[in-house]
Each structure stands twice: as structure tokens, then as C-alpha cells.
Amino acid sequence: MHELIIIGGGITGQTSAIYAARKRMDFVLLARELGGQFLESGEVLNYPGIVKTTGAEFSDIMEHQLRFNGITPVEGEEAREIERMPGGFRVRCARTDYDGKTVIIATGARPRRLSVPGEDAFARKGVTYCSICDGPLFAGRDIAIIGGGNSALEGVNFTKDIARKIYLLNIQKEFNAHEYLIENVLSYKNVEIIGEATTTAITGDTMVRGLTYERGGRMHELAVDGVIIEIGRTPNTEFTKGFLDLDAQGHILIDCWARTSVEGIFAAGDCASGQEYQYVIAAGQGCIALLKASRYLANMKKT
């Protein structure tokens, strides 16, 4: 039985693993695919200490740091179930079961997709799912933000002084967002709101050049250099349902110490409640979760 099982190969799980290695803990890092959100990111310009990088470069840096600390992740393992067992927990995966005295869940979240033609073809070529992460890429350009909830309107708020023109496409007639966000967006002169609009395709050549949408039974085209899809995220927590307490969106409920509803299980990063989907926050939570898991183990030894 390991002291610790870390589930998740993104920045959160990798940070937990680096700290665990520095503490000389007996642990295993399980990763369905090493890299997590790095694999979806274009330029990264807001991580303290790194002026400018890309998701791929950042992932390489983290993998180098794992190797430096003697960490060999178990890749291709996806958690299917977690259950109690004497002295700890068992994580059932596709290939193997893993036993540990404590567990850190850092499985992240995946963007909700439009599933329209061109979305995959132009991924990281003008299509992105994070206004705060990638908005600066579109300085002085015309963009479309898709969505009608808080994340979409927050995206408009963040990019209003970056982009030249913002088209906000909402599939609904009304916004489902905080009133202050709605009031802000309505006041911006470079924002054009298009309600009851269903995006049907994203178009371009080597990069995004436009999109098409359906409204009132008619097809329309927009010329844009970027499409930011902000229709929410789905936390990768399906394997914890019925075992841990989740919020309405499926995030694992945690306290300020990254503790979940089950003693000995910790969660951090995009899969946990209260997340803002930022690398620096995810890394910080990964550190907190490891330190608290280490303290939990120390207390176990005293009893």
C-alpha cells in the first residue's frame, strides 16, 4: 500500500507529485494523459516567473522537473472507481488497482464543446476555450465569444480592452449571468450582442477567419480572427459520484485545506469547487493538497 495516490497528470497533480518526491514519500502518480490542460493551451503569458511560453513548452518544463525529481508517472491509467479499504483506499483503474493510505484527486475539467465543423481543425489556431488565458492573443483583432453565462460575460469583460471588436453569440434570448456582468457588457461600445444565435461552423484557412450561425431560420456569417468558446466546463469527477460530495456542476466540494467530504481524500485544481481555471491557482492547490495529505499521514502514525 502506497502512502499516497495522486490521480491526474496536469499541473495540479504534477505539483503534488513534485512536493511528494521532495518529502521522500511513497506515492504513485496516475495520469490518463500527462499534460492535462497544457495540451489545450496556446500561449501562456500570465504564469508568475515565466514571461512567455506555450502550453506545449510549459508541459515539457514540468515533465523535465518530474524526471529531475525521479518521478515516473503511470500513464494511460484512468480512475474508474474509488472505495474504502482497511487502512486506506483502493483506486480502481482500467488496467490495475492501486491501494493508498490517502488520495489526492487532481483530474481537472474539460471544456464543453460546440461540436461543430471546424472546431477541431482550428483548435489552437484561433479556437480557444479560455478568455483569460488566451484573450491577449487577439489584441487589436475581431473575435467572437460564444456563450451566455458568467464565464462568457467575464470573457467579454476581460477582452474588451484587448480585442478591437467582440461579437457575443448567445444561443438563448437572455443571459444567464450576474446582473452586474450583464450591465457591464451592455455598456461596452465595441461589443455587439447577437442573441438566439446557434453557431453552426467555424471557418478559415490556416487560421480562423470566421464563423457561421443560424438565427431566425436564416444563416449568417461573421469575419473574425478568433473564436472563444465559453459555454462552461465539465469536471472529470464521474468516478467519484456516490463516494464524495459534489456541487451542482460536479466539482468535488473541498474546504480551504483541500479536504473533501471523506477524511483522507483531498482534491485540488479544476476538478474541485471554487475553481477559476488558472494554472497558478491549480498549482497552488496541488501544493496545499499535498501538504495537508502529508500532515494527515503524520497524524495517522500518532494514533
Quick: pLDDT tens for 174-225.
Answer: 999 889 899 999 999 999 999 999 999 999 999 999 999 999 999 999 999 9
Q: How far apart, in whole angstroms, are the C-alpha atoms of residue 245 and residue 113?
A: 26
Any bridge partners for residue 123, and if so which?
Answer: 127
Q: How far apart, in whole angstroms, are the C-alpha atoms of residue 47 and residue 14?
A: 16
Are residues 54 and 43 in contact, defined by beta-carbon separation less than 8 angstroms?
Answer: yes
pLDDT for 246: 97
Q: Which of the 8 DSSP states describes residue 40? A: G
23-63 pLDDT, tens per residue? 999 999 999 989 987 876 666 778 999 998 888 899 999 99
pLDDT for 42: 64
Any bridge partners for residue 103, and if so which?
Answer: 5, 265
Q: How far apart, in whole angstroms, are the C-alpha atoms of residue 153 and residue 143?
A: 14
65-101 pLDDT, tens per residue? 999 999 999 999 999 999 999 999 999 998 999 999 9
Query: Residue 302's pLDDT band (boundaries 50, 70, 90)?
Result: confident
Q: How far apart, in whole angstroms, are the C-alpha atoms of residue 7 and residue 17?
A: 10
- The answer, yes or no, to whether residue 124 has pLDDT greater than 90, is no
Candidates 202, 192, 249, 247; CA nearest to 226 is 202
Distance of CA 2 to the CA centre of its chain: 27
| Mean local confidence (pLDDT), 135-149 | 95
Q: How far apart, in whole angstroms, are the C-alpha atoms of residue 279 and residue 46?
A: 9
Q: Which of the 8 DSSP states describes residue 251? A: P
For a pLDDT cut of 70, what percent of the chain falls above it?
Answer: 98
Q: Which of the 8 DSSP states describes residue 247? A: -
Note whether 2-110+233-302 and 113-229 share their fold.
yes
Q: How far apart, in whole angstroms, are the C-alpha atoms of residue 11 and residue 284?
A: 10
- The answer, yes or no, to whether residue 274 has pLDDT greater than 90, is no
Which triple of cell numbers denotes residue 40? 489545450
| Mean local confidence (pLDDT), 268-284 | 91
Q: How far apart, in whole angstroms, are the C-alpha atoms of residue 295 and residue 264?
A: 10
Helix-helix angle 11-22:55-68, to 10 degrees? 20
Q: Could you state, in order of their start, the residue ranges of all structural domains in the chain?
A: 2-110+233-302, 113-229
Residue with the bigger pLDDT between 170 and 52: it is 170
Candidates 151, 55, 110, 107; CA nearest to 268 is 107
Q: Report the CATH superfamily, name and number, of domain 113-229.
A: FAD/NAD(P)-binding domain (3.50.50.60)
Global pTM reads: 0.78
Mean pLDDT of the chain: 94
Indicate the fold that domain 2-110+233-302 takes in CATH: FAD/NAD(P)-binding domain (3.50.50)
